[in-house]
Amino acid sequence: MAQIQNAPRELGSRRVLARFVIRTTILVAFAALGSIDFGKSLAALLAMSAILCAVLAVVRREAAFPPAINHWDEALAYAALYFLTVALGLSSPL
């Protein structure tokens, strides 16, 4: 019975991970095709994605540290990628 209770959480986490990979791929594609520098475009898109995910988490009233991955975790991942982009020197802070 324990496996049945954990199944929806795993499905939700898998869905969030798939959504994160697809969105990140789209962001990289848009940054590559943009008219300004790739690093600046990518940093701006990552920052906007982090803010969007945080707003969605507030609107959906998601818990900050649940057992399954949610929009808060996705926002932290985008923020980490943004700071990595800035640390690597691809862009200056917004």
pTM attached to this predicted model: 0.81
Q: Report in angstroms the alpha-carbon separations of 78 from 2, 4, 31, 84, 85.
A: 32, 31, 15, 10, 10
Domain-embedded: residue 53: yes
pLDDT range class, residue 7, cuts 50, 70, 90: very low
At residue 79, φ and ψ (nearest 5 deg) are -65, -40
51 HSE (CA, 13 A, CB side): 7
Domain with 51 in it: 2-87
Look at residue 10 and tell me if it is in a domain: yes
Higher per-residue pLDDT: 13 or 26: 26
Burial label for 31, CB within 10 Å (0-12, 13-18, 19+), is: buried
- The verdict on residue 94 lying in a domain is no
**Residue 48 located in a structural domain:** yes
How is residue 42 written in tokens?
């990518």
Confidence at residue 32, expressed as pLDDT on a 0 to 100 scale: 92
Note the pLDDT of residue 34.
82
